Structure 1
Amino acid sequence: MEDNSLQGKDERPNPPKNPLPEISLRPFELSDADDFMVWATDDRVTRFGSWDTYNSREEAVTYLKEYVMPHPWYKAICLKNRPIGAICVQPGTGCDRCRGEIGYALASKYWGQGIATVAVRIVISSIFSEWADLERVEALVDVENPGSHRVLEKAGFIKEGVLRKYYIQKGKTRDMVMYSFLSTDPKPV
């Protein structure tokens, strides 16, 4: 079994007093529905997502069963094996099979701790070897989502530019920033 965990270590001479805890990625299980509801019911978390805030556990279970579990690469971001967020890579098909789109969500109480950055680095460290045709992982981020911009930049993604009026999100046309990470880019540490 592959170890998809990284210890948040800081190599500086005087590392911060609270180093990152061990973060791992694993497939979701139906028993994760209550943990999933922690962030899926939080409007702050879903604000920039393509999905709406969940209002019932039944909706969450249906989503886990019908979309998450059959998805080719959709994982729980875990602390001590307990889900605190989600991360996925949507593969391209046909002529687009050389690229995939990464997306992630994290419970708001864990924001600003570097956890999402570590999760993105874990994905980048393995996804290119898992998918033979993959050469590019891209992310579309709302221009008004500075936290996600920081996550991607710290994980080694390159900002390519702003796509104006690119995406309709929750009924409003949004400007999106395109980020990418290529299979030939230096892998994150």
Structure 2
Amino acid sequence: MLTPADLSTLLAATAQGDRIAFERLYVATRAKLYGVVIRILKRQDLADEVMQETYIKIWGNAGSFDPSKASPITWMVTIARNRAIDLVRKRSEASIEEEPEAMDVAADIPNPLAARELSEDLRRLMGCIGTLDTDRKQMVLLAYYNGLSREQLAAKFRKPVNTIKTWLRRSLIEIRECLGS
């Protein structure tokens, strides 16, 4: 896993047109950005489209990234989230008759068939997350599923950013140990 400093270095190299740095940046961040985008759009085809637009924007604007204003992942998540929200707003102008698939919105709780189709790894992961206390479980899900930054979590939980970092780190260690057993 790359550190924020590593990501900043990759963004700086990307700003200089370094395709290998951009590829490493993509590999390191695609899962997180995709998680944010799919959560908003709930459709793979739209999420794929937004992901492509997001990375095109990252490629073109890497030089404008300022590490004194935000962490690299926060900057990239913001681009992805804004793109996804823009698409939702644009698509909401269409009528339901023009887009019947809008009725096929994914439920928050999977139906029995969908639950059975969850991979064993995902079930194990969710079981391990379920062992965390309520606040830490919510924090992990908000950070890694919804893409909230540490600063946003600190505001939500009314705790210092360093406390949030520690809680997230300890939670991830507990999850990793649970998965290892």
TM-score > 0.5, shorter chain as reference: no
Report the TM range for the smaller structure's normalisation. Answer: under 0.3
The answer to which structure has the higher helix fraction is 2
The answer to which structure has the higher strand fraction is 1
TM-score normalised per structure 1: 0.27
TM-score normalised per structure 2: 0.28
